[in-house]
């Protein structure tokens, strides 16, 4: 795997970096000088630069893990059913085994020793991290802050209990809290939340949503005042809160939220959720992107969320949880003094150096196409294993990252999960149809390698299969392609691809667990 080759960092080979082209200054908003981008205070950049969820750039290099120590929940969402458990499925609330605080700490130390990319440990369920007195959550964080202080601690909550815990979280040095906020109007909320449990009592109907809303806003304001970065997750539910999420965006922005993550509803009758059973659909790729584009103003929008399992381990989009089951961790020789720190530090130094080079080379690539301003943007799908490179074969890709490219640069705008095309060495022609549906809004797909059959089918669907940039950096390659594409359009040798929409896979399989 070439994320920045770990083999090279730890002495088994050469690190594969592109030489830095000559460039003056940095023109991208994700500029990674040690002080961070121009639109972010240095102390904020310090908090987010290695967090794979809070920084899109970081997610190409750094991993997170979730420990499932919070089984209970204090509300019911119509898109959630925690009883449904599938070891191969990736979506929130799904978990293969629940852990005690002691088991969780042991697991984190085992993972941290093995995966130097690990920078964040989060608690995201499978219930609510702060429900039922938050005992296991607080115990886990207390021990981890002592044993592995270089790893950031992160928390996700529905916000109902949050106001009672902000001081405690601050005391534990937690810099990142996510609140899931799907409405700022209880009229809308009553279609999403059938009940909540608050103040020793069960509340239903509009009153339940009113209390939840007030607690969410209070918690968000308290986080801002405590200097904790708040990310807001919102589930886009067409016909229920899709247009309303513009109001949510405005309200959370006004209360100092750092980042807004608008995610598509995952809904399938097989999951047994209210929305699944009533046939509530999720958004299409175009609908999701249009809403995200509308919300993107002076507030940052997260578009790289993978809607992780509550026990996910690894880079976003991969799941190595099956290597670290409670049983396997019990048999491992775990260094309880936070082993692996030196490896993690070495990895971070290499990433820092690589990112600095990248900012220079991206700026140079943008300068090459700047004269094309005014041309329409195009979407490109990319097969990657990380490290911001085109380093995955078409047939091995479990997802494609989507970049929007124009004369201003190449911007990550989403990802599409797909079934593997190549299983056991041969291509699955049925699977190919679903892949084409998933990237049907793209002009091209960039891969490290691709066979003749899938290439032909892609071409017939109007998607250009491109392997000439194999193992190169994504953004620079996308800009070079854009320059060629625009020139061919101008000369009339190709016609513009327009109008297609794409399917966001619901609850796709992302790993094959034992
Ligand atoms: Fe986990 Fe969430 Fe922390 Fe990230 S996930 S608690 S902020 S460490 Fe990230 Fe996963 Fe999306 Fe969450 S990709 S579901 S946003
Ligand atoms: Fe499920 Fe989370 Fe909603 Fe609780 S807050 S019902 S765990 S999605």
Q: Rounded to the nearest whole angstrom, what is the distance from the C-alpha of residue 251 to the centroid of ligand 1?
A: 22
Least confident of 98-102, 294-298, 503-507: 503-507
The arithmetic mean of pLDDT across residues 347-364, rounded, is 89
- Is residue 123 a contact partner of residue 92, using CB atoms and an 8 Å limit? no
Q: What is the pLDDT of residues 105-164, one digit of tens each?
A: 999 999 999 999 999 999 988 899 999 889 999 999 999 999 999 999 999 999 999 999
Least confident of 80-89, 204-213, 338-347: 80-89
Q: Which residues have any ligand 2 atom within 6 Å of their CB? A: 73, 75-77, 80, 82, 93, 125, 127-128, 158
- The closest-lying atom of ligand 2 relative to the alpha carbon of residue 131 is 4
- In this prediction, residue 1 carries a pLDDT of 41
Is the pLDDT at 194 greater than 90? The verdict is yes
- In this prediction, residue 187 carries a pLDDT of 98
Q: Which letter does DSSP use for residue 402 in this model? A: E
State how far the alpha carbon of 271 is from the alpha carbons of 79, 147, 173, in Å: 9, 38, 37
Q: Categorize the per-residue pLDDT at 499 as very low, low, confident or very high, splitting at 50, 70 and 90.
A: low
State what percent of residues in the chain have pLDDT above 90. Answer: 59
- In this prediction, residue 240 carries a pLDDT of 97
The residue among 32 and 54 whose pLDDT is bigger is: 54
Q: State how beta strands 259-264 and 75-76 pair.
A: unpaired
Q: Which two tokens stand for residue 473?
A: 């950096």
Q: What is the pLDDT of residues 414-450, one digit of tens each?
A: 999 888 877 766 666 677 888 999 999 999 999 999 9
178 within ligand 1 shell (Cβ under 6 A)? yes
Is the pLDDT at 299 greater than 50? The verdict is yes
- The closest-lying atom of ligand 2 relative to the alpha carbon of residue 82 is 1
Q: Rounded to the nearest whole angstrom, what is the distance from the C-alpha of residue 308 to the centroid of ligand 1?
A: 7
- The closest-lying atom of ligand 1 relative to the alpha carbon of residue 304 is 13
156 within ligand 1 shell (Cβ under 6 A)? yes
State how far the alpha carbon of 331 is from the alpha carbons of 66, 110, 138, 334, 349, in Å: 20, 10, 26, 9, 31
Give the closest residue (by CA) to ligand 1 atom 13. 305
Write down the residue that tokens 């097989």 correspond to: 270
How far is it, in rounded angstroms, from Cα 282 to Cα 264? 6
- Is residue 32 a contact partner of residue 357, using CB atoms and an 8 Å limit? no
- The closest-lying atom of ligand 1 relative to the alpha carbon of residue 121 is 8
- Is residue 448 a contact partner of residue 392, using CB atoms and an 8 Å limit? yes
State how far the alpha carbon of 400 is from the alpha carbons of 90, 92, 394, 444, 510, in Å: 16, 20, 9, 11, 12
- In this prediction, residue 97 carries a pLDDT of 79
- Is residue 383 a contact partner of residue 445, using CB atoms and an 8 Å limit? yes
- The closest-lying atom of ligand 1 relative to the alpha carbon of residue 66 is 1
Give the closest residue (by CA) to ligand 1 atom 11. 305
State how far the alpha carbon of 483 is from the alpha carbons of 267, 363, 409, in Å: 40, 15, 11
- Is residue 55 a contact partner of residue 64, using CB atoms and an 8 Å limit? no
Least confident of 16-20, 171-175, 356-360: 16-20
Q: Categorize the per-residue pLDDT at 510 as very low, low, confident or very high, splitting at 50, 70 and 90.
A: very low
Q: Rounded to the nearest whole angstrom, what is the distance from the C-alpha of residue 113 to the centroid of ligand 2?
A: 31
The residue to mutate among 127, 159, 232, 233, having the most atoms of ligand 2 within 8 angstroms of its beta carbon, is 127
Q: Which two tokens stand for residue 25?
A: 């200054």
Q: Rounded to the nearest whole angstrom, what is the distance from the C-alpha of residue 250 to the centroid of ligand 1?
A: 22
Is the pLDDT at 275 greater than 70? The verdict is yes
- In this prediction, residue 281 carries a pLDDT of 93
Is the CA virtual torsion 300, 304, 306, 310 positive or negative? negative
Mean pLDDT is highest, among 16-30, 262-276, 361-375, for: 262-276
Mention every residue, 6+ apart, whose C-beta is less than 8 A from residue 355: 32, 57, 61
Least confident of 64-68, 85-89, 509-513: 509-513
Least confident of 17-26, 335-344, 392-401, 415-424: 17-26
- In this prediction, residue 13 carries a pLDDT of 38
Helix (H, G, I), strand (E, B) or coil at 264: strand
Least confident of 11-15, 99-103, 154-158, 498-502: 11-15
Give the closest residue (by CA) to ligand 1 atom 7. 53
- In this prediction, residue 86 carries a pLDDT of 43
H or E element that contains 330 = helix 326-331
- In this prediction, residue 338 carries a pLDDT of 65
365 within ligand 1 shell (Cβ under 6 A)? no
Least confident of 35-39, 172-176, 395-399: 35-39
- In this prediction, residue 222 carries a pLDDT of 98
Is the pLDDT at 91 greater than 80? The verdict is no
Q: Which two tokens stand for residue 476?
A: 């620079």
Give the closest residue (by CA) to ligand 2 atom 5. 158
Is the pLDDT at 373 greater than 80? The verdict is no
Q: Rounded to the nearest whole angstrom, what is the distance from the C-alpha of residue 154 to the centroid of ligand 1?
A: 8
- Residue 161 has phi, psi (to 5 degrees) of -95, -5
Is the pLDDT at 305 greater than 50? The verdict is yes
Mean pLDDT is highest, among 6-20, 119-133, 203-217, for: 203-217
Write down the residue that tokens 């990248």 correspond to: 358
Q: What is the pLDDT of residues 20-51, one digit of tens each?
A: 333 333 333 343 334 467 678 888 999 999 99
- The closest-lying atom of ligand 1 relative to the alpha carbon of residue 156 is 6
Which is nearest to 342 in space by CA: 5, 7, 3, 9? 9
120 within ligand 1 shell (Cβ under 6 A)? yes
Q: Rounded to the nearest whole angstrom, what is the distance from the C-alpha of residue 309 to the centroid of ligand 2?
A: 12
- In this prediction, residue 7 carries a pLDDT of 57
Give the closest residue (by CA) to ligand 1 atom 8. 122
Q: Rounded to the nearest whole angstrom, what is the distance from the C-alpha of residue 176 to the centroid of ligand 1?
A: 10
State what percent of residues in the chain have pLDDT above 70. Answer: 86
As a whole number, the mean pLDDT across the chain is: 86
137 within ligand 1 shell (Cβ under 6 A)? no
- Is residue 409 a contact partner of residue 20, using CB atoms and an 8 Å limit? no
Q: Rounded to the nearest whole angstrom, what is the distance from the C-alpha of residue 444 to the centroid of ligand 1?
A: 29
Q: Categorize the per-residue pLDDT at 336 as very low, low, confident or very high, splitting at 50, 70 and 90.
A: confident
Q: Which letter does DSSP use for residue 28 in this model? A: S
């Amino acid at each position: 795997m070439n994320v920045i080759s770990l083999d090279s960092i730890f002495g088994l080979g050469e690190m594969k970096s592109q030489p830095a082209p000559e460039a003056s200054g940095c023109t991208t908003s994700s500029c990674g000088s040690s002080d961070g981008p121009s639109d972010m205070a240095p102390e904020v950049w310090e908090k987010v630069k290695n967090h794979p969820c809070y920084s899109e750039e970081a997610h190409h290099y750094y991993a997170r893990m979730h420990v499932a120590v919070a089984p209970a929940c204090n509300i019911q969402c119509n898109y959630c059913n925690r009883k449904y458990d599938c070891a191969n499925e990736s979506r929130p609330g799904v978990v293969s085994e629940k852990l005690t605080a002691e088991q969780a700490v042991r697991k984190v130390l085992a993972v941290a020793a093995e995966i130097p990319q690990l920078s964040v440990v989060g608690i995201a369920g499978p219930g609510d991290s702060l429900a039922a007195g938050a005992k296991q959550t607080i115990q886990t964080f207390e021990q981890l802050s002592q044993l592995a202080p270089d790893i950031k601690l992160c928390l996700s909550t529905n916000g109902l209990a949050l106001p009672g815990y902000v001081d405690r979280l601050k005391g534990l040095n937690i810099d990142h809290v996510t609140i899931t906020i799907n409405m700022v109007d209880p009229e809308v909320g009553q279609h999403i939340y059938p009940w909540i449990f608050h103040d020793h009592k069960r509340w239903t109907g509009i009153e339940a949503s009113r209390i939840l809303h007030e607690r969410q806003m209070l918690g968000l304001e308290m986080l801002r005042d405590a200097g904790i970065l708040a990310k807001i997750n919102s589930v886009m539910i067409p016909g229920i809160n899709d247009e309303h999420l513009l109001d949510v965006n405005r309200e959370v922005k006004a209360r100092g939220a750092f980042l807004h993550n608008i995610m598509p509803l995952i809904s399938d009758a097989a999951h047994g959720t209210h929305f699944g059973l009533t046939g509530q659909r999720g958004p299409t790729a175009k609908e999701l992107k249009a809403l995200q584009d509308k919300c993107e103003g002076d507030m940052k929008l997260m578009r790289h969320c993978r809607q992780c399992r509550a026990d996910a381990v690894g880079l976003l989009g991969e799941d190595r949880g099956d290597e670290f089951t409670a049983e396997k961790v019990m048999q491992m020789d775990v260094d309880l003094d936070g082993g692996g720190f030196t490896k993690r530090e070495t990895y971070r130094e290499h990433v820092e150096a690589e990112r600095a080079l990248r900012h220079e080379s991206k700026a140079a690539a943008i300068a090459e196409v700047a004269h094309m301003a005014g041309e329409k943007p195009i979407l490109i799908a990319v097969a990657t294993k990380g490290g911001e490179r085109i380093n995955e074969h078409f047939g091995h890709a479990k997802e494609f990252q989507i970049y929007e490219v124009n004369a201003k640069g190449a911007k990550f705008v989403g990802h599409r999960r797909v079934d593997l095309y190549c299983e056991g060495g041969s291509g699955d022609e049925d699977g190919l149809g679903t892949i084409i549906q998933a990237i049907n809004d793209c002009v091209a797909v960039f891969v490290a390698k691709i066979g003749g059959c899938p290439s032909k089918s892609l071409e017939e669907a109007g998607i250009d299969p491109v392997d000439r940039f194999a193992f190169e950096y994504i953004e620079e390659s996308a800009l070079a392609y854009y320059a060629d594409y625009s020139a061919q359009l101008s000369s009339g040798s190709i016609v513009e691809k327009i109008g297609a929409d794409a399917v966001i896979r619901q609850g796709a399989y992302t790993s094959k667990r034992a």
